[in-house]
Amino acid sequence: MIPVKVRELAEILNAEFFGDSEIEIKKPVPPEEAGVEDTTFLFDPKFDKEGETGVVISTFKPQNLRSRALILVKEKDEALVTVLKHFERKREPRKFPGILTYLDTEAQLEEGVLVYPHTYISRGVHIGKGSVIFPFVFIDEDVTIGRNVIIHPFVFVGYDVKIGDNVVIHSGSVIGADGFGFYRTEKGYIKIPQIGNIEIEEDCEIGANCTIDRATIGTTRIRRGVKLDDQVHVAHNVELGEHTVIAAQTGIAGSTKVGKWVMMGGQVGVSDHIEVGDNAIILAKSGVSKSVPPGGIFSGYFARDRRKLLKIMALQDKLPELFKRVKILEEKLGKAENNTKKD
């Protein structure tokens, strides 16, 4: 990591700066933890509390938090990414004793590939330039891995899987397990062979302990720019559209097609053989049992349009009172009927 000073960072960010321009930027800490020598971000006025720190990177001028230098940025997300990338750990290529790694003679590694000890790379594997394979990764036969891919420890990559450039796969994920396919007989369930594959396009990130199942026939597709949180399950023959993001513990059943720029919260369950339209938002803990049109916000079990669901929930709160009123009306009607019979 090359040291950078306040004035240099301000120039990189195309931002104004105030105070001491020669202070060296340190690894940022949260504002509530920042001490007098630290660097911190301040993008929300609620964190602008009495205190003193070294350097503040902010979208506004703090009223309470004092600092030796202030970098005033226009776009918080761009500033955040730029600064954090500067402090991100870089891994330089180095050679390890080959005795601890199995590399098949028919596997091909391009220039600058870093393979750590205790990995298994099978026949027909091709790994692109600049990729990093961490320890205890198993890569099965005929896998194609693009350039600048990072595969973290304890990942399994099954046969015939294709992974594009700039993909990150975090620890414990399984890419290419058999899809969940069986048919029922009087004697029990018979397994349906899963002979398809998986394609993960460029710029995707797969969180820790995710499972992406190979297709029964054909391909399970993860399109460009998809981001999966930890413990997401993608079943056989699913397609996730470009730039879709899915939070933890969500499961998507077989042959479902999810559109572009879809957002799913945590613990969402999506049924099989349905479609989720582009730009749809599925809130946490929703159960999606039928196709969802583009652009809406959906929640609940079974998932419904959010506005409609809120109206239903508001009416549900009134049900006890409504029940009482109906009971009173029934009693009055009963008395009226009795009086009519007497007459």
Q: Which residues are designated catalytic?
A: 236
Give the 3-state secondary structure percentages of the chain, helix then strand then coil, rounded to 5. Answer: 20, 30, 50
CA distance 37 to 24: 10
Residue 164 makes CB contacts below 8 A (sequence gap 6+) with 146, 199, 200, 201, 202, 203, 204, 224
- Classify each residue of 26-45 as buried b or exposed e, where b means 16 or more C-beta atoms within 10 Å of its C-beta: eebeebeebeeebbbbbeee
Residue 311 makes CB contacts below 8 A (sequence gap 6+) with none
Residue 139 makes CB contacts below 8 A (sequence gap 6+) with 119, 120, 121, 122, 125, 133, 145, 151, 157
Q: What is the DSSP letter of 133?
A: E
Tokens of residue 67, six digits = 């600092």
Helix (H, G, I), strand (E, B) or coil at 169: strand
CA distance 12 to 293: 42
The DSSP H or E segment spanning 311 is helix 306-317
Report helix angle 319-342 to 306-317, nearest 10: 50
CA distance 241 to 276: 10
